[in-house]
Amino acid sequence: MIDFAWPIILIVNALLVLLFGVFFLWKIHKDKKAGYPTQDERTLKISGRAAIGTYYISLAFMISLLLFIIFGTEFLNLPDLEAGWAILAIMLVSGISYALLSWYYSRKGDL
């Protein structure tokens, strides 16, 4: 029974990604048809600043994770960190930092 869980989870995941993709494409098409621009100068500046900030935050997190792995296994005798957990942590830090920085810059008055 456990062997059949992963194919079902992968199929459900693929369907959810497909549904979200169709929804976002429909929304973009509807907004273009209504005459709304997809991006203006302010949103481009906000997304650019958020992307740069996310890059530096992610880089600092990866370096700190690397140092934690090196010093933790060599000097503190901590168990090795599996690659999957490290990748998951990096993805979460990157996504959350981009969302928070985009929200912060969109709330900020002038850039």
Distance CA 10, CA 21 (A): 16
Q: Is the pTM of this model over 0.95?
A: no
Along the 111 residues of the chain, how does pLDDT read in single tens digits?
Answer: 456 666 777 888 899 999 999 998 988 888 888 877 777 888 889 999 999 999 999 999 999 999 988 888 888 888 888 888 899 999 999 999 999 999 999 888 666
